Amino acid sequence: MPNKLISIGKAAKLLGVSIDTLRRWDLARRLPSIRSGLRGHRYYRQSDIDQFLQDVHSIAKKWVEDLEGSVPEQEIYCPTRDVFQARLEHFQLELARIAPIDTVSLITAVAGEIGNNSFDHNLGNWPDIGGVLFSYNLQNKSVVLADRGLGILATLKRVLPELNSADEALKVAFTKTVSGRFPETRGNGLKFVRTIIIDNPFTLYFQTGDAYLYLKQDESDVIIQPAKTPIRGCFAIIRL
Protein backbone atom coordinates (compact mmCIF):
# COMPACT_ATOMS: atom_id res chain seq x y z
CA MET A 1 0.00 0.00 0.00
CA PRO A 2 2.15 2.85 -1.26
CA ASN A 3 -0.03 5.63 0.20
CA LYS A 4 -0.44 4.12 3.62
CA LEU A 5 0.37 6.64 6.37
CA ILE A 6 3.03 5.65 8.85
CA SER A 7 4.03 7.22 12.15
CA ILE A 8 7.12 9.37 12.59
CA GLY A 9 8.62 6.68 14.82
CA LYS A 10 8.25 4.02 12.16
CA ALA A 11 9.52 6.37 9.45
CA ALA A 12 12.59 7.12 11.59
CA LYS A 13 13.30 3.41 11.93
CA LEU A 14 12.91 2.76 8.23
CA LEU A 15 15.25 5.59 7.37
CA GLY A 16 17.74 4.86 10.13
CA VAL A 17 17.59 8.40 11.54
CA SER A 18 16.24 9.91 14.75
CA ILE A 19 12.78 11.40 15.19
CA ASP A 20 14.44 14.77 15.81
CA THR A 21 16.16 14.49 12.44
CA LEU A 22 12.81 13.85 10.76
CA ARG A 23 11.35 16.93 12.50
CA ARG A 24 14.26 19.01 11.20
CA TRP A 25 13.82 17.60 7.69
CA ASP A 26 10.12 18.43 7.92
CA LEU A 27 10.80 22.05 8.90
CA ALA A 28 13.35 22.33 6.12
CA ARG A 29 10.80 20.72 3.70
CA ARG A 30 13.41 18.13 2.84
CA LEU A 31 10.99 15.34 3.73
CA PRO A 32 7.62 16.96 4.46
CA SER A 33 5.21 15.20 6.83
CA ILE A 34 1.43 15.11 6.83
CA ARG A 35 -0.16 16.51 9.99
CA SER A 36 -3.11 14.54 11.25
CA GLY A 37 -5.33 14.29 14.31
CA LEU A 38 -6.26 16.89 16.90
CA ARG A 39 -2.70 17.30 18.11
CA GLY A 40 -1.28 17.50 14.61
CA HIS A 41 1.02 14.49 14.86
CA ARG A 42 3.40 13.96 11.96
CA TYR A 43 2.73 11.09 9.58
CA TYR A 44 4.43 10.06 6.36
CA ARG A 45 3.20 8.53 3.15
CA GLN A 46 4.81 5.17 2.48
CA SER A 47 5.44 6.29 -1.10
CA ASP A 48 7.31 9.40 0.11
CA ILE A 49 9.53 7.25 2.29
CA ASP A 50 10.19 4.86 -0.62
CA GLN A 51 11.08 7.76 -2.89
CA PHE A 52 13.33 9.28 -0.24
CA LEU A 53 15.16 6.00 0.24
CA GLN A 54 15.67 5.71 -3.48
CA ASP A 55 17.04 9.23 -3.39
CA VAL A 56 19.62 8.26 -0.75
CA HIS A 57 21.09 5.68 -3.14
CA SER A 58 21.15 8.31 -5.85
CA ILE A 59 22.70 10.87 -3.51
CA ALA A 60 25.44 8.42 -2.57
CA LYS A 61 26.14 7.54 -6.20
CA LYS A 62 26.20 11.17 -7.24
CA TRP A 63 28.52 11.98 -4.34
CA VAL A 64 31.18 9.61 -5.67
CA GLU A 65 30.57 10.55 -9.30
CA ASP A 66 30.99 14.31 -8.85
CA LEU A 67 34.35 15.65 -9.94
CA GLU A 68 34.28 18.17 -7.15
CA GLY A 69 33.95 16.87 -3.59
CA SER A 70 31.33 18.10 -1.13
CA VAL A 71 30.50 17.12 2.44
CA PRO A 72 27.39 14.88 2.53
CA GLU A 73 24.40 15.35 4.83
CA GLN A 74 25.42 14.83 8.44
CA GLU A 75 22.94 11.99 8.95
CA ILE A 76 24.60 9.73 6.40
CA TYR A 77 28.20 10.92 6.67
CA CYS A 78 30.90 9.30 8.83
CA PRO A 79 33.93 11.62 8.72
CA THR A 80 35.93 9.39 11.07
CA ARG A 81 36.21 5.73 11.87
CA ASP A 82 34.74 6.31 15.33
CA VAL A 83 31.57 7.80 13.87
CA PHE A 84 31.35 4.88 11.45
CA GLN A 85 31.73 2.36 14.27
CA ALA A 86 28.98 4.05 16.31
CA ARG A 87 26.59 4.11 13.33
CA LEU A 88 27.44 0.55 12.40
CA GLU A 89 26.54 -0.60 15.91
CA HIS A 90 23.30 1.36 15.72
CA PHE A 91 22.53 -0.30 12.38
CA GLN A 92 23.26 -3.68 13.95
CA LEU A 93 20.70 -3.03 16.70
CA GLU A 94 18.07 -1.84 14.22
CA LEU A 95 18.64 -4.78 11.93
CA ALA A 96 18.28 -7.16 14.88
CA ARG A 97 14.66 -6.06 15.17
CA ILE A 98 13.76 -7.44 11.76
CA ALA A 99 16.35 -10.09 10.91
CA PRO A 100 17.70 -13.27 12.53
CA ILE A 101 20.94 -12.98 14.48
CA ASP A 102 22.93 -14.88 11.84
CA THR A 103 21.94 -12.31 9.21
CA VAL A 104 22.72 -9.44 11.58
CA SER A 105 26.13 -10.88 12.30
CA LEU A 106 27.09 -11.46 8.66
CA ILE A 107 25.65 -8.28 7.14
CA THR A 108 27.20 -6.10 9.84
CA ALA A 109 30.53 -7.85 9.28
CA VAL A 110 30.32 -7.20 5.51
CA ALA A 111 29.38 -3.54 5.97
CA GLY A 112 32.05 -3.18 8.65
CA GLU A 113 34.77 -4.61 6.42
CA ILE A 114 33.85 -2.43 3.44
CA GLY A 115 33.56 0.74 5.53
CA ASN A 116 36.74 0.15 7.49
CA ASN A 117 38.57 -0.73 4.29
CA SER A 118 37.88 2.81 3.12
CA PHE A 119 39.53 4.24 6.23
CA ASP A 120 42.41 1.76 6.22
CA HIS A 121 43.42 2.53 2.66
CA ASN A 122 42.92 6.27 2.59
CA LEU A 123 44.05 7.46 6.00
CA GLY A 124 46.18 10.55 5.42
CA ASN A 125 45.65 10.31 1.65
CA TRP A 126 42.04 11.33 1.03
CA PRO A 127 42.07 13.23 -2.30
CA ASP A 128 39.38 15.70 -1.22
CA ILE A 129 36.60 14.71 1.21
CA GLY A 130 37.62 12.15 3.83
CA GLY A 131 35.31 9.61 5.38
CA VAL A 132 32.51 7.30 4.40
CA LEU A 133 28.91 7.79 3.41
CA PHE A 134 26.89 5.08 5.18
CA SER A 135 23.16 4.69 4.83
CA TYR A 136 20.72 1.83 5.15
CA ASN A 137 17.14 1.07 4.37
CA LEU A 138 15.51 -1.52 6.56
CA GLN A 139 12.41 -1.65 4.43
CA ASN A 140 13.98 -2.75 1.20
CA LYS A 141 16.85 -4.23 3.20
CA SER A 142 19.77 -2.51 1.62
CA VAL A 143 22.94 -0.85 2.83
CA VAL A 144 24.93 1.76 0.93
CA LEU A 145 28.57 2.61 1.53
CA ALA A 146 30.63 5.08 -0.47
CA ASP A 147 33.95 6.87 -0.23
CA ARG A 148 35.82 9.45 -2.31
CA GLY A 149 39.16 7.82 -1.63
CA LEU A 150 41.94 6.72 -3.95
CA GLY A 151 40.07 3.66 -5.21
CA ILE A 152 41.29 0.08 -5.33
CA LEU A 153 43.57 0.48 -8.34
CA ALA A 154 45.71 3.21 -6.75
CA THR A 155 45.78 1.30 -3.45
CA LEU A 156 46.83 -2.05 -4.89
CA LYS A 157 49.28 -0.52 -7.37
CA ARG A 158 51.54 0.20 -4.39
CA VAL A 159 52.19 -3.51 -4.02
CA LEU A 160 51.28 -4.75 -7.50
CA PRO A 161 52.65 -2.08 -9.88
CA GLU A 162 51.76 -4.22 -12.90
CA LEU A 163 48.06 -3.49 -12.37
CA ASN A 164 46.82 -1.07 -15.00
CA SER A 165 43.07 -0.85 -14.73
CA ALA A 166 40.30 -0.71 -12.18
CA ASP A 167 38.83 -3.98 -13.45
CA GLU A 168 42.10 -5.87 -12.88
CA ALA A 169 42.45 -4.31 -9.43
CA LEU A 170 38.86 -5.13 -8.50
CA LYS A 171 39.33 -8.76 -9.49
CA VAL A 172 42.52 -9.05 -7.44
CA ALA A 173 40.91 -7.38 -4.43
CA PHE A 174 38.04 -9.88 -4.36
CA THR A 175 40.00 -13.00 -5.25
CA LYS A 176 43.57 -12.77 -3.88
CA THR A 177 44.89 -12.12 -0.42
CA VAL A 178 47.04 -9.09 -0.93
CA SER A 179 47.36 -6.04 1.26
CA GLY A 180 47.60 -2.58 -0.21
CA ARG A 181 49.12 -1.46 3.05
CA PHE A 182 52.71 -2.55 2.51
CA PRO A 183 54.47 -3.86 4.58
CA GLU A 184 51.42 -5.22 6.39
CA THR A 185 50.84 -8.90 5.68
CA ARG A 186 47.06 -8.65 5.66
CA GLY A 187 44.35 -8.22 3.08
CA ASN A 188 41.56 -10.68 3.66
CA GLY A 189 38.72 -8.18 3.89
CA LEU A 190 37.11 -8.28 0.45
CA LYS A 191 37.66 -12.03 0.06
CA PHE A 192 35.78 -12.41 3.33
CA VAL A 193 33.00 -10.20 1.93
CA ARG A 194 32.79 -12.31 -1.21
CA THR A 195 32.65 -15.58 0.73
CA ILE A 196 29.79 -14.34 2.87
CA ILE A 197 27.79 -13.04 -0.08
CA ILE A 198 28.07 -16.21 -2.17
CA ASP A 199 27.28 -18.44 0.82
CA ASN A 200 24.12 -16.53 1.81
CA PRO A 201 20.98 -15.02 0.25
CA PHE A 202 22.63 -11.60 -0.13
CA THR A 203 23.86 -9.56 -3.08
CA LEU A 204 26.62 -7.00 -3.49
CA TYR A 205 27.16 -4.32 -6.12
CA PHE A 206 30.67 -2.92 -5.77
CA GLN A 207 32.19 -0.26 -8.01
CA THR A 208 35.62 1.34 -7.99
CA GLY A 209 36.75 3.71 -10.73
CA ASP A 210 35.18 2.58 -14.00
CA ALA A 211 34.63 -1.07 -13.07
CA TYR A 212 32.02 -2.91 -11.03
CA LEU A 213 31.10 -6.40 -9.97
CA TYR A 214 27.88 -7.97 -8.85
CA LEU A 215 27.98 -10.90 -6.45
CA LYS A 216 25.14 -13.14 -5.38
CA GLN A 217 24.50 -16.44 -3.68
CA ASP A 218 26.02 -19.55 -5.28
CA GLU A 219 27.79 -17.59 -8.03
CA SER A 220 31.44 -17.87 -7.21
CA ASP A 221 32.73 -16.39 -10.49
CA VAL A 222 33.93 -12.81 -10.16
CA ILE A 223 32.85 -11.08 -13.36
CA ILE A 224 33.99 -7.50 -13.72
CA GLN A 225 31.95 -5.15 -15.92
CA PRO A 226 32.64 -1.64 -17.22
CA ALA A 227 30.62 0.99 -15.33
CA LYS A 228 28.57 3.60 -17.16
CA THR A 229 29.97 6.47 -15.10
CA PRO A 230 33.34 6.33 -13.35
CA ILE A 231 33.51 7.22 -9.67
CA ARG A 232 36.01 8.43 -7.09
CA GLY A 233 36.88 5.79 -4.54
CA CYS A 234 34.41 2.99 -3.93
CA PHE A 235 30.65 2.54 -3.94
CA ALA A 236 28.80 -0.49 -2.59
CA ILE A 237 25.20 -1.60 -2.23
CA ILE A 238 24.56 -4.67 -0.08
CA ARG A 239 21.12 -6.27 -0.20
CA LEU A 240 19.82 -8.92 2.17
Partner 1 sequence: MIIRLKKFGNTLVSRTSGKEAWLAFQPTLNGIPDSEDVVVDFSDVVVLTPSWADEFLTPLQEQFGDRAKLQNSDNPSVIATLDILTKNKVVAT
Q: Rule CB under 8 A: which residues touch partner 1?
A: 81, 85, 88-89, 92, 101-102, 104-106, 108-109, 112-113, 116-117, 119-120, 159-160, 176-179, 182-183, 185-189, 191-192, 195-196, 199
Determine if the peptide bond prior to 226 is cis (ω within 30°): no
Rank residues 37 and 182 by Cβ distance to partner 1 and give the closer one. Answer: 182
- Least distance (Å) between residue 218 CB and partner 1: 16
The H helix count followed by the E strand count for the chain is 8, 10
Q: How far apart are CA 210 and CA 229, in angstroms?
A: 7
Rank residues 47 and 177 by Cβ distance to partner 1 and give the closer one. Answer: 177
- Residue 10 contacts residue 30 (beta carbons within 8 Å): no
DSSP assignment letter at 212:
E
- Least distance (Å) between residue 34 CB and partner 1: 37
Rank residues 63 and 91 by Cβ distance to partner 1 and give the closer one. Answer: 91
Q: What is the dihedral of CA 204, 235, 58, 101, to 10 degrees?
A: 40
Q: How far apart are CA 11 and CA 16, in angstroms?
A: 8
Rank residues 34 and 123 by Cβ distance to partner 1 and give the closer one. Answer: 123
- Least distance (Å) between residue 189 CB and partner 1: 6
Rank residues 23 and 191 by Cβ distance to partner 1 and give the closer one. Answer: 191
- Least distance (Å) between residue 103 CB and partner 1: 9
Phi, psi angles (nearest 5°) of residue 70: -140, 155
- Least distance (Å) between residue 115 CB and partner 1: 8
Q: How far apart are CA 205 and CA 7, in angstroms?
A: 32
